[in-house]
Structure 1
């Protein structure tokens, strides 16, 4: 796998064209799984792992890599299956989610494929609420399951969701609730949707949830087709970037190109890190960018938009 992730500049050009690259890997069986290359820092043969006391069972140990120490989680075990064996011959996918670096133990790593988000679909409804999938696609006539990594991380190491008292302004919360202000939330991770929903509702704002960019755009267009005004329904859109059917960049550009809804305030809220994303935010016309998951920062940005809306009414 040496050099497989070297062409970062070339890969970033795919973002904004509703495209992505998936790193394909296997766990204990022949099923193929995928993870967005943009989340991956490095892939390497499993190094020596050191057990730590009172660790979550999913964490097989810690490893010293590139001068740092990271936790290595058994992805198969995290999804409720048996732990991977013969880990010396397994691989570790080192990734960055929610401003933290961690390793995922997998059985084998295959290759990188270039896909269109339009060919990435939500999990089938029959998969059940307890599944660990955020999307599915097809490569070489085989189903590839894209894992909801945020769900795994929330179970192994839950994020702090408490909002500081000094952030919430009681008068603003009361007014927002009385005016029935609402926010549209688009995110393919069920865990992320619930986290954002809880945070936003503490600011006194109602929420409407959708699972991807295509659903969000169709919902907004349906309102317009019914003669409704977007500003009468939503004070802002909070959107993930990585989503099946349509990513957050394409969603934002589509909204901003439509005179009927180009004034909708858009916050791109993502676990993707880096300066590149901030540049993309400006290119597609989003109003703001926030890395997941900072409850105080998210609540503050929503409350600012509440205040702007109340001042304009």
Structure 2
């Protein structure tokens, strides 16, 4: 296994013995104070479409040359097998297979859509308390953008909802931001089944006030709506932080009717960090409890949300954690 660079504080990517990309992950938390984000950009084929994911979800980039532990059956799906990284066994997924899979029958023979090249370049991603290897063709670079430069995609739009948003690369090309969380659920449906089972055990909450929810991922939004419906609370849902803030600040009477705000962190136009900052700066809205609902559960994000005076932090769409938080802050 050739390491393109790893250190707990740094994401290094080396190319042809040169440092191709380097960023101090701890320092990027300051970007959120300015409603900014950094994306790790990569390709799935030579000179192809540029894709990206939030840099916080990428732990390291490696070239993997060791053998894979195969799954049952032939290696024809999105999951290629299991890989060993620093003594840790993690699943390896071929992102190109998932992106280009037929929408009506996504888990049929997918080897024709495999990422090309003899070298297996892997982005080791860590999010939602899950570590997974994602095969890519090659790394591009890390770009910094304001969240208002990020355009939200529709579920019926690019790649059948497998892309949450788009942004411009340095040369003007469109960068598609992949919904990594949805890929995880598609490949491992038991993760969603576990949440469905937990849904049955949460009980309704009596509340006089409503919940506002901001979430840009369609799959995560659907699960959150199921949770809130099961809890029996009135809720209004928004695809990003800007839409939520526009509704919240439309009149003082709306602010008085809101009991809790639940927000994702990474969203186009206005991030969850910006939602927290603006609400806590307002004399009326600052009293509304804010619960951060994010797959980026690293300490740096929790610490930043705490510094901005968020009231709670739960794992992405976790029914029990959300019930506990709402029972505490809403009732």
Q: TM > 0.5 between the two? A: yes
How many matched pairs?
296
Match of 1:259 in 2: 283
Deviation at 1:93?
0.6
Which runs of no fewer than 5 residues in structure 2 stay unpaired? 6-11, 14-21, 102-111
Using the alignment, how far apart are the partners of 1:127 and 1:164 within structure 2?
30
SS at match of 1:228: helix
Deviation at 1:131?
2.2
Using the alignment, how far apart are the partners of 1:6 and 1:244 within structure 2?
22
Q: Match for 1:216 among 244, 259, 269? A: 244
* Distance change in 2, residues 1:275/1:190 (3 Å): same
Match of 1:79 in 2: 99
Match of 1:8 in 2: 25
Using the alignment, how far apart are the partners of 1:231 and 1:156 within structure 2?
42
Q: Match for 1:186 among 207, 214, 227? A: 214
Q: Is the 8 A contact 2:249 2:255 kept in 1?
A: no
Q: Is the 8 A contact 1:98 1:272 kept in 2?
A: yes
Q: Which runs of 4+ in 1 moved over 4 A?
A: 164-167
Q: Match for 1:284 among 297, 301, 308? A: 308
Using the alignment, how far apart are the partners of 1:164 and 1:142 within structure 2?
42
Which runs of no fewer than 5 residues in structure 1 stay unpaired? 308-313
1:60 is the counterpart of 2:91:
no
Match of 1:274 in 2: 298
Q: Is the 8 A contact 2:115 2:136 kept in 1?
A: no
1:45-96 superposed Cα distances (whole Å, 9 cap, x missing partner): 1333231215882101111111111101111111234432545324111101
SS at match of 2:61: strand
Q: Is the 8 A contact 1:213 1:243 kept in 2?
A: yes
* Distance change in 2, residues 1:166/1:77 (3 Å): closer
Q: Is the 8 A contact 2:155 2:161 kept in 1?
A: no
1:230 is the counterpart of 2:265:
no
Using structure 1 for the length normalisation, give the TM-score.
Answer: 0.87
* Distance change in 2, residues 1:279/1:85 (3 Å): closer
Q: Is the 8 A contact 2:260 2:330 kept in 1?
A: no
1:255-301 superposed Cα distances (whole Å, 9 cap, x missing partner): 11111211111101101122222221222121111122422111221
Match of 1:147 in 2: 178
Deviation at 1:11?
2.2
Match of 2:69 in 1: 50
Alpha-carbon RMSD across the aligned residues, in angstroms, is 2.2
* Distance change in 2, residues 1:239/1:50 (3 Å): same
* Distance change in 2, residues 1:51/1:166 (3 Å): closer
1:198-223 superposed Cα distances (whole Å, 9 cap, x missing partner): 1121111122111111111111122x
